[in-house]
């Protein structure tokens, strides 16, 4: 079938057959189908949808486009984690060493930040010297030695996803549920872990903005997990405000380390604690008491071990000045008294991009030292003149742009908003 005929099938709302999907996508991988043709197909799929069978075929094509990572020669219960992306989402930096210190082997392949969502790899690379690119054997050695590793998504795994994702990103086709499900699950299916733990972000700082869509995404991903033989646990978690006090690369690493030392008490720490309990329950392991585990110092030591094994300076856990941090700090003050209400958290993420801490094109370099440290959370009462946040910036122009973005991200309301849950919904393969 010619590419234009294949595209026409979806444009007209009809169902593909497996053979033509294979032909179209494999020809795309080998360069015989052009980016603009795949872009047209992605938009048709966005508008007309893909049914469960088509989503399964697409996922299979992505999995089979590259190598598979076989972890069966790494001892232990292996957990893989993925977040659909939010603002201030440094959960992996905290949860990976935390779960490893409780006895799991946590293998985390992450992406870089694009658009309003930061990337775990960018955050971790704030630590000088730390490497995130490893061969398969090196990755497995990290898991055997430390029990935890956060590395860049290997180019060899699911290469078709990389190509499709970069097109989706610039053609406004990211937010299609079957495309998100196949993208996330293909990368998890290419690795044979014992549990895939997924965090679907929901809210005005996420790709998914309503609970029905989030539940439908969970349904598709659970079904893919079942068809490909992966145990899956999914939490739909709130992304209607930045998660935690820090947004920006170095600052988020600091918040994660503070958490691992038991020094953080906010929505971020509450969420990581719950994910810790649920993940251990999902694999039927006893749950060590969280406070005792933190007090033992094992979680922060595990973070240091992970950093050292990946070539970074483990002293960072005691000396945060090792991290790059901008010297210029702007104090953002409340212009009136009332309750802080985020109505567009995406703009907080975009403020980081304006400051230079994120990228709008995948080849952009980023500045790890800029960011925002908040002193209040969404819903908190603030007084006129109170410092809401410190903005770490490098030049006046980017600061002005960031402030403009922030001014569209929240308002100060006279009345208190209803409390939002941290976890909107959760499900797993057992149910
Ligand atoms: N994260 C992914 O890996 N893929 C998507 O499509 C969306 C979020």
CATH of the domain at 257: 3.40.1030.10
189 and 331 both lie in a single domain: no
Task: Using CB atoms within 10 Å of the CB of residue 136, give its burial: 0 to 12 exposed, 13 to 18 middle, 19+ buried.
Answer: middle
Tell me, using a 6 A CB cutoff, whether residue 180 lines ligand 1. yes
297 and 404 both lie in a single domain: no
Atom of ligand 1 nearest to the CA of 168: 6
172 and 227 both lie in a single domain: yes
Pocket test for ligand 1, best of 46, 63, 84 (most atoms within 8 A of CB): 84
- Determine, yes or no, domain membership for 278: yes
Q: How high is the pLDDT of residue 114?
A: 65
Q: How high is the pLDDT of residue 363?
A: 77
- Determine, yes or no, domain membership for 422: no
Determine whether 161 is an active site residue. Answer: yes
189 and 307 both lie in a single domain: yes
- Determine, yes or no, domain membership for 338: yes
Centre of ligand 1 to C-alpha 184, Å, is: 5
- Determine, yes or no, domain membership for 63: no
Centre of ligand 1 to C-alpha 335, Å, is: 37
209 and 275 both lie in a single domain: yes
Tell me, using a 6 A CB cutoff, whether residue 197 lines ligand 1. no
197 and 219 both lie in a single domain: yes
Atom of ligand 1 nearest to the CA of 83: 1
Domain final position from 286, 317, 348? 317
- Determine, yes or no, domain membership for 403: yes
Q: Which backbone phi and psi does 225 adopt, to 5 degrees?
A: -55, -45
DSSP three-state, residue 7: helix
Centre of ligand 1 to C-alpha 256, Å, is: 23
- Determine, yes or no, domain membership for 55: no
CATH of the domain at 348: 3.90.1170.30
Determine whether 22 is an active site residue. Answer: no
Centre of ligand 1 to C-alpha 188, Å, is: 11
- Determine, yes or no, domain membership for 272: yes
227 and 87 both lie in a single domain: yes
127 and 28 both lie in a single domain: no
42 and 144 both lie in a single domain: no
Give the sign of the dihedral formed by CA 356, CA 375, CA 426, CA 289.
positive
- Residue that is written with structure tokens 């970069």 in the block: 166
Q: How high is the pLDDT of residue 431?
A: 65
> What single string gives the DSSP state of each residue in 77-103?
-EEEEEE---SS--HHHHHHHHHHHTT
Domain count, the chain: 3
Q: Determine which residue's CA is closest to atom 3 belonging to ligand 1.
A: 184
Centre of ligand 1 to C-alpha 175, Å, is: 9
- Determine, yes or no, domain membership for 423: no
Domain final position from 295, 317, 339? 317
Q: How far is residue 194 from each of residues 61, 104, 197, 283, 299, measured CA to CA in Å?
A: 22, 10, 10, 8, 22
Tell me, using a 6 A CB cutoff, whether residue 177 lines ligand 1. no
Q: Please say whether the beta carbons of 328 and 398 come within 8 A.
A: no
Cross-strand pairs, 106: 79, 148
Q: How high is the pLDDT of residue 84?
A: 87
301 and 387 both lie in a single domain: no
9 and 26 both lie in a single domain: yes
Residue 353 belongs to what H/E stretch?
Answer: helix 346-355
338 and 291 both lie in a single domain: no
| DSSP-assigned letter for residue 377 | -
DSSP H helices, 79-174, are 91-101, 120-124, 136-146, 159-170
Averaged pLDDT, groups of 10, the chain, 431 residues long:
97 98 98 97 98 98 96 96 93 98 95 78 96 95 98 91 90 92 95 96 94 97 97 97 98 98 98 97 96 98 98 98 98 98 97 92 87 97 98 97 98 93 90 65
Domain final position from 256, 284, 317? 317
Tell me, using a 6 A CB cutoff, whether residue 183 lines ligand 1. yes
**Domain carrying residue 271:** 78-154+168-317
CATH of the domain at 32: 1.20.970.10
């Amino acid at each position: 079938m010619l590419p234009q005929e294949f595209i026409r099938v979806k444009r007209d709302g009809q169902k593909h057959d497996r053979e033509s999907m294979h032909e179209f996508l494999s020809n795309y991988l080998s360069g015989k189908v052009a980016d603009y043709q795949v872009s047209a197909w992605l938009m048709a799929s966005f508008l007309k949808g893909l049914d469960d069978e088509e989503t399964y075929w697409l996922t299979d094509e992505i999995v089979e486009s590259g190598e598979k990572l076989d972890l069966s020669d790494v001892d232990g219960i292996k957990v893989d984690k993925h977040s659909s992306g939010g603002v201030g989402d440094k959960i992996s930096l905290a949860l990976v060493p935390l779960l490893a210190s409780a006895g799991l082997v946590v293998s985390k392949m992450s992406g870089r930040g694009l658009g309003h969502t930061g990337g775990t790899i960018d955050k971790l690379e704030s630590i000088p010297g730390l490497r995130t690119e490893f061969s398969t054997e090196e990755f497995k050695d990290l898991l055997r030695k430390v029990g935890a590793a956060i590395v860049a998504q290997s180019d060899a795994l699911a290469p078709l996803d990389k190509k499709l994702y970069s097109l989706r990103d610039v053609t406004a086709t990211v937010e299609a549920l079957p495309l998100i499900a196949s993208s996330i699950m293909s990368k998890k299916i290419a690795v044979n872990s014992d549990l895939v733990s997924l965090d679907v972000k929901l809210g005005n700082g996420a790709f998914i903005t309503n609970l029905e869509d989030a539940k439908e995404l969970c349904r598709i991903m659970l079904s893919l997990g079942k068809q490909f033989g992966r145990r899956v646990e999914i939490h739909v978690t709130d992304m209607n405000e930045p998660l935690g006090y820090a947004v920006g690369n170095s600052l988020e690493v600091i918040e994660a380390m503070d958490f691992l030392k038991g020094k953080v008490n906010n929505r971020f720490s509450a969420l990581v604690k719950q994910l810790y309990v649920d993940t251990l329950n999902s694999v039927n392991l006893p749950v060590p008491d969280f406070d005792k585990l933190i007090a033992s110092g094992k979680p922060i030591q595990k973070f240091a071990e992970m950093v050292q094994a990946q070539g970074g300076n483990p002293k960072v856990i005691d000396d945060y000045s090792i991290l790059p941090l901008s010297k210029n700090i702007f104090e953002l003050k409340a212009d009136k008294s009332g309750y802080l209400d985020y109505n567009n958290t995406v703009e907080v993420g975009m403020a980081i991009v304006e400051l230079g801490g994120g990228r709008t094109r995948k080849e952009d370099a980023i500045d790890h030292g800029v960011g925002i440290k908040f002193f209040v959370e969404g819903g908190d009462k603030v007084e006129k003149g109170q410092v809401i946040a410190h903005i770490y910036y490098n030049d006046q122009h980017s600061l002005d742009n960031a402030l403009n973005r922030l001014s569209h991200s929240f308002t100060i309301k006279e009345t208190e908003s209803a409390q939002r849950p941290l976890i909107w919904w959760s499900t797993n393969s057992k149910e």
